[in-house]
A and B are shown apart, each in its own frame.
Chain A
């Protein structure tokens, strides 16, 4: 086994790379040394954020107030940039024919193609070949057990089961709800640190945990393009509504138009809390779509010898 750290990885022009990186480094050093150091006073916008957080937004978390309140339009742009990235991943992963699901699409596509080809003129040789191929495909599908518990121990073979062993499944079953509650808690209480984005990424983690533990058929009912994309765009509409209503009622885009709850309660923060919750929905489902789209990315042309 070659030494893992030996840097024999193919590369080109290391000398030039070193020179350019060192030059950029020197430029950065000059610039960074003249940056304001830690003794500098807080900027005016920071003072404004600190003073306005409690009286105007009833939140004890100025960073959340800045993220979802005064600079809500910037967070609006950032969240929709994530939406644009997810859409571009889906478009990049699109196959030629309309897709049905993230994974198991090849089976759908080939079955559909077989159905269409049936009508064309086919002699006995082609029918026999098609029957053989159909038989082989069916046996492979049937051969994939749901769980690997019945496989004899010690057999060296490619794992075909959808799910993992009973130990991993139970561990996933116990860990997933705890992680989901922790993630939602991170975003629910708006007056402590944490917001929609980390909670959405935790949601992705929980879904990946269930996918790894139970296989795609187990979660395919929920993690389908039809369901997840609708939820994501519902979150996006919720964000747009929360922002534009501020413009309608109070004359500024991310202005707070909700009645303010007392400090340190779950509804503290007015529209910032609504924005954070809808960002949780959108980021969580967006990341799920991106990850499962890359997972289910098939060749977008007739597969060659492969």
Chain B
């Protein structure tokens, strides 16, 4: 019942969304974005899983399976796993940029409270 994984990914996304919507602390807000990104990892890898599948690696297959049987199926979907790998890299890249913006805001506004920062200075 992989659908539990899917629903857990949706719940993780909502937790991250809640943090982004309600928290005033900008660093906590970036953490909420990281939680939302983590939900995409869970969803992608759960969709890559097939019933009774092992890792898509043709080195030393598990008991009772031969490499040729693995090439015909019975492994998780490598392409979706590549998408998750890309998502992890982009997650790190985005978090680095968000955090440097937050540090800049803290230096200019002396506060990282979203309500203080909202005032546009002329």
Q: Do chains A and B touch in the complex (CB under 8 A)?
A: yes
- Asked if B97 and A13 make an inter-chain contact with CB atoms under 8 angstroms apart, the answer reads no
Chain B residues whose CB sits within 8 angstroms of the CB of A201 once the complex forms: 92
The answer to whether the Cβ of A36 comes within 8 Å of any Cβ in the partner chain is yes
Complex Cα distance, B9 from A217, in Å, reads 45
The answer to whether B78 and A62 have CB atoms under 8 Å apart is yes
Interface size of A in residues (CB-CB distance below 8 Å): 72
Q: Interface-forming stretch among A73-81, A109-117, A253-261?
A: A73-81
- A92 with B104: CB separation less than 8 A: yes
Q: Which residues of B contact A22 (CB under 8 A)?
A: 14
Whether the Cβ atoms of A32 and B22 lie closer than 8 Å is: no
Q: How far is the CB of B39 from chain A (nearest CB, A)?
A: 9
Interface string of A77-94 (1 = CB under 8 A from B): 011011011101100110
Cβ distance B26 to chain A, nearest Cβ, rounded Å? 12
Q: Which of B17, B80, B101 contacts A21 (CB 8 A)?
A: B17
Task: Please tell me if A147 contacts chain B, counting CB pairs below 8 Å.
Answer: no
Asked whether, in the complex, the Cβ of B58 is within 8 Å of the Cβ of A20, the reply is: no
Whether A294 lies near B59 (C-beta < 8 A) is no
Label chain B's interface by main secondary structure: helix
Interface residue SS majority, chain A:
helix
Contacts of B50 in A (CB 8 A): 38-40, 42
Q: Of B24, B81, B99, B100, which contacts A63 at CB under 8 A?
A: B81
A193–B24 alpha-carbon span in the complex (Å): 41
CB of A34 to closest CB in B, whole Å: 10
CA distance A279 to B49 in the complex (A): 27
B22 touches A66 (CB 8 A): no
Q: Is A14 an interface residue (CB 8 A)?
A: yes
A10 touches B25 (CB 8 A): yes
- A47 interfacial by beta-carbon distance below 8 Å: yes
A93 vs B43: C-alpha distance when bound (angstroms): 35
| Complexed CA–CA distance, A10 and B1 (Å) | 39
